[in-house]
Amino acid sequence: MDRTSRPHAVDTIRASEPQDEVHLVRLAEVAFEDMGDYSHTILDWLRRPSTVTLVMSVGEGISGFVTYCYRRCDHDVYGDIIALAVDPVFRRQGIASRLLTRAITYLSAGAPQVHASSLRLHVSAGNVAGQTVFQRLGFRFQVTDGYYPNGQQALRYVRDCLPPDRLSVEPDAEDTICSKSVG
């Protein structure tokens, strides 16, 4: 898909479907190629019952995705944004921000049910563009937290969940985020 088809396409954020797997794995391979082989990891995330993957559809294709879940670490429950990827053809068009905003909203909406108060994500120290997007959406650097398979430092970013009066999107009856268990 190229940028010339974009003006005629309608952007839609929707839940991923099983038939999206092949495209999402290919997109992840391109987006995360400098970090290591994530093809099996992405498939595992997509197939876990406790994760949610949203895709940005553009026309008949997929321009990006975000995968998230709730996690428990000791006595702390938090929303974890596991993966965020945008097709290079569609970068710098606000797709990552739109996907991330929707994930923040849904995780925040479900937070009271699982007693989560914060959201986390990891980003490569070399991904300055990603760090800029995350900071713009309220995430702040917390700690250096290990390394990716190809040796890049992993930085943990955190933010508070949105309070109920600041939720920008009400989850639809079809949304499954509130029914997902803490992993």
The CATH number covering residue 131 comes to 3.40.630.30
Q: Do the domain assignments include residue 173?
A: no
Q: Do the domain assignments include residue 71?
A: yes
pLDDT at residue 161 tops 70: yes
Q: Do the domain assignments include residue 37?
A: yes
Which pLDDT score is estimated for 164?
Answer: 72
Total-model pTM: 0.82
Query: Among all chains, which residue has been given the structure tokens 């596991």?
Result: 82
Phi, psi of 143 (to 5 degrees): -165, 155
Which pLDDT score is estimated for 73?
Answer: 84
Convert the pLDDT of each residue in 48-92 to its tens digit.
888 999 999 877 788 899 999 999 888 889 999 999 989 888 888
Q: Do the domain assignments include residue 35?
A: yes
Q: Where are the beta strands (DSSP E) in 16-168?
A: 52-58, 61-73, 76-86, 118-124, 140-147, 153-160
The residue segments making up the domain with residue 102 are 9-164
Q: Do the domain assignments include residue 134?
A: yes
Q: Do the domain assignments include residue 118?
A: yes
Confidence band (pLDDT; 50, 70, 90) for 10?
A: low
Which pLDDT score is estimated for 103?
Answer: 93
Q: Do the domain assignments include residue 182?
A: no
Give the integer Cα–Cα distance in Å for 48 and 30. 22
- pLDDT, average across residues 91-111: 90
Closest Cα partner for 51 from 60, 42, 64, 38?
42
Q: Do the domain assignments include residue 180?
A: no
pLDDT at residue 138 tops 50: yes
Structural domain total, the chain: 1
Task: Out of 48-52, 146-150, 175-179, pick the least confident.
Answer: 175-179
